[in-house]
Amino acid sequence: MSAEPSVLPASSTAEPRSTGFGSTVLDTLMPGEAAARRPASVFDVCHAGVVLRTLLAVEAAVGLGVLFVAVDFQAWLSRLAAASSVAVPAVLLWLSTACLLKRPLGALSPAARWLVAMGLGALSAAVPALLLLPLGLDVLGAQPLLAPVLAGAGAAAAVYGWLRWRARALLPAETTARLAELQSRIRPHFLFNTLNTALALVRVDPARAEGVLEDLAELFRVALTDIGESVSLAEEVELARRYLDIEQVRFGARLNIVWELDDEAGSARVPPLILQPLVENAVRHGVEPAPEGGTVRIRTRVKAGRAQVVIANTVPAQASRPGNGMALKNVRERLNLMHDMAAQFEARRVDGAFRVQLVVPL
């Protein structure tokens, strides 16, 4: 046994094979988790990107429709404004209702979902049309109520059809992202290194060995448990802290960890196990290859009403073996699946450090 058991060589284990522990976990967990975490409903429109795309599409359709009855550009603008005064509120009302009722609506049969979507579209268009009817606006010719109701039902059918296509298109991407999530959760070589660390500490520092095994048990408890579609950022930070505590025992003084945490950012919702692969990358590529070690900095803060997470690591002079970028791609895809356009992800090298930044809504 070495004189300094708290710092073990980074190469103490071989690289994991595709048929190792990770494959067993995937084979066991993937069917259940894929079913549990599949999007709850095709009516999941609670994203800024969906709202913006729907509004633009409906406005474009309204603008094209008005062209058929407008005699000149000024008349087109006038009719477009009148029609938009019904179309825009109707779209927002339809989307808001679908968002609030996405789970019960998603539980309906396919035929019932079509009927409900179209009926809700007709009702959503009728409400602003009725409110504007006393103003005498020339919305759509001589039928100021019937025309918006029929147009609302038709537009709702088109939007629902697009949502169904979008859900089917996203399903393969989500399945791939979930698979990558499981593959990147706890790599086998990390398990073996941690167990070797604990074994080295058992005789010289039993209390510290117990702490290492407790941290490892918590990591695997989360990794092997279906904990839902999202967790708080504070929970993710705590899990990343446990991971880095284990790595701190392995690398000792070679690993310098800097925490800059804003408690207000901790309430943001993120996909589970979104930070652990990033801090693992930081250690693996920023600290492990450098004989002198390196620094990993984790910062959270609230900026412009959103939670910002930055994970940065020093870049060693001797570059590590290039990775396949799976962890970064996985994080980006899972953020997009959960928050759509409301999330931002950036990874780049700047000022001698590799920096990953996540921005999510609060």
Which pair of structure tokens corresponds to residue 267?
């309430």
Max mean pLDDT range (46-55, 142-151, 182-191, 257-266): 257-266
pLDDT band for position 323 (50/70/90)?
Answer: low
pLDDT given at position 6: 42
Pick 199 or 157 by higher pLDDT. Answer: 157
Distance from C-alpha of 80 to C-alpha of 87, rounded to nearest angstrom: 10
Judge whether residue 199 has pLDDT over 50: yes
Distance from C-alpha of 291 to C-alpha of 317, rounded to nearest angstrom: 10
Distance from C-alpha of 128 to C-alpha of 8, rounded to nearest angstrom: 69
Q: DSSP per residue over 300-320, as a string?
A: EEEETTEEEEEEEEEPPSSPP
- DSSP at 341: G
Judge whether residue 357 has pLDDT over 60: yes
Judge whether residue 215 has pLDDT over 90: no
Stretch 70-80: mean pLDDT: 84
Stretch 233-250: mean pLDDT: 87
Stretch 338-345: mean pLDDT: 84
What structural domains and CATH numbers belong to the chain?
48-174 (no CATH), 187-361 (3.30.565.10)
Stretch 191-197: mean pLDDT: 72
Which pair of structure tokens corresponds to residue 338?
């959960």
Distance from C-alpha of 246 to C-alpha of 121, rounded to nearest angstrom: 55
pLDDT given at position 138: 54
Judge whether residue 143 has pLDDT over 80: no
pLDDT given at position 330: 79
Judge whether residue 336 has pLDDT over 50: yes
pLDDT band for position 296 (50/70/90)?
Answer: very high
pLDDT band for position 351 (50/70/90)?
Answer: confident
Stretch 289-310: mean pLDDT: 92
Stretch 67-87: mean pLDDT: 84
pLDDT given at position 268: 92
Considering the entire predicted model, what is its pTM? 0.57
